[in-house]
Amino acid sequence: MAAITYELIKTCKQSGARLGKIHTPHGSIDTPIFMPVGTLATVKTLSPDELDEMAAQVILSNTYHLWLRPGEDIVQEAGGLHSFMNWDKPILTDSGGYQVFSLSDLRNIKEEGVHFRNHISGEKLFLSPEKAMTIQNALGPDMMMAFDECPPYPAEEEYMKASVERTSRWAERCLEAHQRPSDQALFGIVQGGEYEYLRKQSANDLISLDFPGYAIGGLSVGEPKDVMNHVLDFTTPLLPKDKPRYLMGVGSADSLIDGAIRGVDMFDCVLPTRIARNGACMTSNGRLVVRNAAYARDFKPIDENCNCYTCRNYSRAYIRHLVKSNETFGFRLTSYHNLYFLLNLMKQVREAILEDRLLDFREAFFEQYGFNSP
Ligand SMILES: C=CCOC(=O)Nc1nc2cc3[nH]c(NC)nc3cc2c(=O)[nH]1
Ligand SMILES: [Zn+2]
């Protein structure tokens, strides 16, 4: 019995978008979906009740970070991530180390795995496909990622070809080492950069291994948005229609809509909570940096079109005051609003797919938000 099943409900008549449900051991997920990131087993500053309240359906945690702190053994002894963090809905783990693996110059990639330095203590570390499986099997998420190389952008074609072939060999080793396939769905991660034949090769290698889900990696790593959209144009159609597709690390409003249009089902990004901690908010009229002096006497809500707890109860002036005073409550309010904004955006995307009007929705949203739609 597979750990997850994907139920295709409807494909949009205007685009490659699709409405679906992912059934997991911890409940179902409506797709396309945005997944809040909880790197260290918490979506920073927010409680599981608040995540429930804003209708978050699935959250992410990071393998690399939890391996270092507190250690996957402690999480396992707590009964796994769900009981450790008191979140009883679906959880997905990715490496979270992509910044460490692909950006740190202390990284040394070999066939057996990756040697690199602990970003906190500087001590030498080693991760392999087998080790990544052991850690994720101990953490106990419903969905977990194969150990891959996310090449830097841009990358030479020969480097990319060799990297894709190694990632495919690693994916096979992950399947071998995976101890809990019946309750933890292992996703293969498609690589290949912007080279269409390499994306085809990577997808075919992974599809032949028959994963229950497929992630699209190597994107949102500094490439222009039109390059990402172009890669998606020829990559998502390669993937099975009866399995979920997860675009890793993507989370700005325009990229979520453009990814959904190209058939992506799942997204994650630290953007909403990260910019919230800098006092920046996503609104239907564009980004609003509430810490700016302009809002000192502005008693309107962050976003007058938003129905979230923050926007129903507090003003820009009050939130600016809290953020300027470095009050934690201020960052809780901006984080709550930003996550609600993206979760609500995806709810509107799902409604637009149901009514075959996603391209119209894109045009209206881009116009109001101020994205220069091409
Ligand atoms: C246990 C091992 C699981 O491995 C992975 O999670 N691998 C992996 N993570 C990524 C994360 C990304 N974030 C962004 N932008 C913010 N782009 C990303 C791309 C990748 C990727 O290609 N691969
Ligand atoms: Zn709001």
pLDDT at 372 over 90: no
- Residue 98 Cα to ligand 1 midpoint, Å, equals 5
pLDDT digits (tens, 9 = 90+) for 292-310: 999 999 999 999 999 999 9
The DSSP bridge partners found for residue 35 are: 268
- Provide the 8-state DSSP code for 248: T
pLDDT at 374 over 60: no
Query: Where do the H-state alpha helices sit in the chain?
Result: 48-53, 63-68, 72-77, 81-84, 98, 129-139, 157-177, 196-208, 225-235, 253-261, 271-276, 309-313, 316-324, 328-354, 358-369
Give this prediction's pTM: 0.97
Ligand 1 is surrounded, with C-beta below 6 A, by 63, 94-95, 98, 132, 145, 147-148, 150, 189, 217-221, 248-249
* pLDDT, mean of residues 255-273: 98
pLDDT digits (tens, 9 = 90+) for 310-354: 999 999 999 999 999 999 999 999 999 999 999 999 999 999 999
Name which residue sits closest to atom 1 of ligand 1, judged by CA. Answer: 95
The mean-pLDDT minimum among 118-127, 175-184, 195-204 falls in 118-127
- Residue in 62, 66, 91, 95 to alter for ligand 1 test, most ligand atoms within 8 A of Cβ: 95
DSSP, residue by residue, 256-322:
HHHHHHTT--EEE-SHHHHHHTTTEEEETTEEEETTSGGGTT--S-S-TT--SHHHHH--HHHHHHH
- Residue 293 Cα to ligand 1 midpoint, Å, equals 37
Name which residue sits closest to atom 13 of ligand 1, judged by CA. Answer: 249
- Residue 248 Cα to ligand 1 midpoint, Å, equals 6
Expressed in angstroms, the distance from the first to the final Cα of the chain is 45
pLDDT at 117 over 90: no
pLDDT at residue 187 in the model: 98
Q: Taking all residues of the chain, what is their mean pLDDT, rounded to a whole number?
A: 96
The mean-pLDDT minimum among 33-42, 119-128, 203-212 falls in 119-128
Find the ligand nearest to 130 CA.
Answer: 1
pLDDT digits (tens, 9 = 90+) for 172-187: 999 999 999 999 999 9
- How sure is the predictor about 101, in pLDDT bands with cuts at 50, 70 and 90? low
Nearest residue to 374 (alpha-carbon basis) of 192, 243, 230, 274: 230
- How sure is the predictor about 364, in pLDDT bands with cuts at 50, 70 and 90? very high
